[in-house]
Each structure stands twice: as structure tokens, then as C-alpha cells.
Amino acid sequence: MKRILKYLLAGTLLTIVAFLLLGYISSFIGWYGYKKWQYRVGSQSVQESKKRNVFVKELNFKIDSFSGSLGNFQPFIEKGFKYGYHSSEDTRNLENTQYLYQLSFNYRPTDSIAVSIRKDQLEKFDSADYCWGFLKKPYLSDTIILEIRGENVKSGIIKVW
């Protein structure tokens, strides 16, 4: 009986250690494997941007051709940054780049809606991708049009200035 109890206890401890070790290995591969600290990222909200100390200013916007709700959508300009080496909670400001600022917004304001920069608007930025516009100066020189898309949603637009 003591022998069975001993094996049961050893098996339980081995399972717990294996579970903890697997979590650590998964985290290590996921974070360090993808090298997330190497790439420019952006905030999803004004609150997050302020918490990271990269917030510059909120922008005005007007929703056209859309009758649904965009939840907590708010476009803003922030300084460009990367995650810290060991955590996404750390913030490293960009230094060696021409594009120190970026237009940011919550590109998934609800589960069923996505917002992106319209393709013909990308040329208004110094550099851009579908959800961030990179800027040399901390302001927009022209009105930017964003697209609203989603499941069972007729597309709409958002004008940002």
C-alpha cells in the first residue's frame, strides 16, 4: 500500500512539474521565437497609449454611411514604439526612424466589425499599412478616410482629421 501511495505521489509531482515546464517552454518559444520586441507596434486605445507615455493627441472623426455602433473607436496620434525585450508591457520609443509618429485606432472596435485605412488613402502618409499610418510630424496634413467592414455589415466610412 505504501508503495502505491509513493508512486501516486511521485506521478502527481511529475505531472505538476511537467505542466509548469511546458507552460514556460511555450511562453519562451512564443515570445522569444517570434522576437516580438523587434517590430513596431501600436496602441489599441487612447488609455493604453497614455499608459505607455507615447500619446500625442486625439483626432476628430465623423462616421458616414454606417448606422451601427463602433464601440470605443477613437483615432489618435502617438509616438512609434516597440515592446520591451522581455515583456509587451514594457515600451521602447523608436529612435532611428524617419517616421517617429503614427495614426492609431482600435481596428477591431467590436467582435463583428473591423476598421482599416482605405487603400487610396495610404499615399497620404509618409509610410503606412492597413491599420497604422506612419508620420514624420505629429499631425495629419489631410483628412483620412477609413473603411468599416464586417459580418452582416454594409460597409461605411469614417473621416478622420
- Cell output for 104: 492609431
pLDDT of 159 reads 95
pLDDT of 127 reads 83
pLDDT of 60 reads 96
Domain ranges of the chain: 1-34, 41-160
What are the Cα distances from residue 72, in Å, to 45, 54, 103, 110, 148?
8, 19, 16, 8, 14
pLDDT of 101 reads 95
pLDDT of 69 reads 80
pLDDT of 138 reads 95
| Run means of pLDDT, 10 residues per run, the chain, 161 residues | 84 89 76 83 94 97 86 92 90 91 90 89 84 90 92 84 95
The rounded distance, in Å, linking the Cα atoms of 160 and 125 is 13
pLDDT of 61 reads 96
Q: Alpha helix (H) ranges present in the chain?
A: 2-34, 46-51
pLDDT of 155 reads 77
The rounded distance, in Å, linking the Cα atoms of 149 and 117 is 11
